[in-house]
Amino acid sequence: MKVNFLNRMVVAVVTSAVSLVGMSMPTNADQQSLQAQKQQKKGQAQKQQKKQKKEQPRAQQEQRRDQDQLQQRAQKQKQDRPPGWDKGKKVGWGNSNVPPGHQGRLSEQRQRQLIAEQQQRLTRYRQYLDQQQRLTEQRTVLLQQQRRLAQYRYQQQYFERLRQQQMRLQSEQHDYNNDPYYYTAPSYRYNRGGSNYETNQYGADQLRQAVNNGYEQGFRAGQADRQDRWNANYQNSYAYQDANYGYSGYYVSQADYSHYFREGFRRGYEDGYNTRSQYGSQSNGSYSMLGAILSQILNLQSLR
């Protein structure tokens, strides 16, 4: 009797052990599946990190190249200006005693009015830049979802320039009293949207810069879309929609600058996307609109 009882006990224990092993097998399988998923995610994260490390040096190189181009352009503008341009009292072309296009000094009342308008313009522009910074993240996520890597890199450079413009405006203390724009009489008339506007040489230079900046950024945006094999659409570009690259906030309104920036951007985009130079030229990595087309776009009429 004792032997039979013991045998039954052994059988019961073995049966329970087998049952427990059988119940634990699905648990072990689930754990292995979870571990496999974790390893897969870890592998994907490592691949993404390696990819970002490869792209980061390229983005830094392109950023340094853009900075070098801006410095070269600023140096060229400085060389083309008349003597004394960057000093307190300006002199004009041919060593004359007045700035270019200046025919008599504006009244103090008009100067104060221009300065007040300028300060209001800067306040609005600072607010605009603050708003744009909040939109950059949304645009970045969209390009990543679309897998437009070339356009993503270009747009990051554009965002960085806007950030620098914002920082400069926040820290700058402008010397209105020694800025000849505010006491120089208008020397040009131009038409935008059916309305006539007047400006002096300093404002005209800013409008020319807007067209050239637009052409350069349009060319880069068109190149990027071509590299991504994306359908050509300059109006879909954030840079075209923003149209404030290179705007200092001074001398001309934001609306005027953006208008002429877009005129240059559209033509630059077409050249960049189609790998041609119909509207502009390239030299040492710097792009600029052809002189005849630039004059046609601005259509500045001399008042003298």
**DSSP assignment of 261-280:** HHHHHHHHHHHHHTT--SSE
Quickly state the pLDDT bin for 304 (edges 50, 70, 90).
Answer: confident
- CB of 161 within 8 A of CB of 69? no
Range 285-290 contact pairs with CB under 8 angstroms and sequence separation of 24 or more = 285/65, 285/68, 285/69, 286/69, 286/72, 286/73, 286/216, 287/212, 287/215, 287/216, 287/219, 287/220, 288/212, 288/215, 288/216, 289/211, 289/212, 289/215, 289/264
Burial of 248 (0-12, 13-18, 19+ CB in 10 A): middle
Residue with the larger pLDDT of the pair 204 and 62: 204
What 3-state DSSP class applies to 249? Answer: coil
Residue 37 CA to its chain's centroid (Å): 39
Q: Tell me: the pLDDT tens digits for 156-174?
A: 999 888 888 888 877 888 8
Residues 63-74 have a mean pLDDT of 60
pLDDT of residue 3: 46
Burial of 129 (0-12, 13-18, 19+ CB in 10 A): buried
Of 240, 225, 237, give the one whose Cα is nearest residue 275: 225
Tell me the pLDDT of the chain averaged across its residues: 78
pLDDT of residue 28: 60
**Segment of 36-50, 96-110, 206-220 carrying the highest mean pLDDT:** 206-220
- CB of 141 within 8 A of CB of 159? no
Check pLDDT > 50 for residue 35: yes
Lowest average pLDDT, out of 2-16, 198-212, 215-229, 246-260, goes to 2-16
Quickly state the pLDDT bin for 285 (edges 50, 70, 90).
Answer: confident
In sequence order, what are the beta bridge partners of 302?
A: 188
Check pLDDT > 70 for residue 119: yes
Lowest average pLDDT, out of 68-72, 83-87, 174-178, goes to 83-87
Amino acid at 134: R
Quickly state the pLDDT bin for 83 (edges 50, 70, 90).
Answer: very low
Alpha helices, DSSP H, located in the chain? 2-80, 108-146, 149-171, 201-227, 238-242, 254-273, 291-298
Residues 101-106 have a mean pLDDT of 59
Check pLDDT > 90 for residue 231: yes
What 3-state DSSP class applies to 286? Answer: strand
Q: What percentage of residues in the chain have a pLDDT greater than 90?
A: 38
Check pLDDT > 60 for residue 2: no
The four Cα atoms 103, 105, 109, 112 give a dihedral, to 10 degrees, of 100
Any idea what DSSP says for residue 161? H
Q: Residue 70: CB partners within 8 Å, gap ≥ 6? A: none
To 5 degrees, how large is the angle CA 128–CA 130–CA 136?
A: 100
Lowest average pLDDT, out of 7-16, 134-143, 245-254, goes to 7-16
Lowest average pLDDT, out of 134-148, 183-197, 266-280, goes to 134-148
- CB of 269 within 8 A of CB of 234? yes
What 3-state DSSP class applies to 97? Answer: coil
Of 72, 59, 58, 61, give the one whose Cα is nearest residue 286: 72
pLDDT of residue 20: 41
Check pLDDT > 90 for residue 191: yes
Residue with the larger pLDDT of the pair 109 and 135: 109
Any idea what DSSP says for residue 182? G
| Phi and psi based region of residue 221 (left: phi greater than 0; alpha: psi -120 to 50; beta: remaining) | alpha
Residues 22-28 have a mean pLDDT of 48
Residue with the larger pLDDT of the pair 125 and 85: 125
**Segment of 48-57, 68-77, 152-161, 217-226 carrying the highest mean pLDDT:** 217-226
pLDDT of residue 174: 86
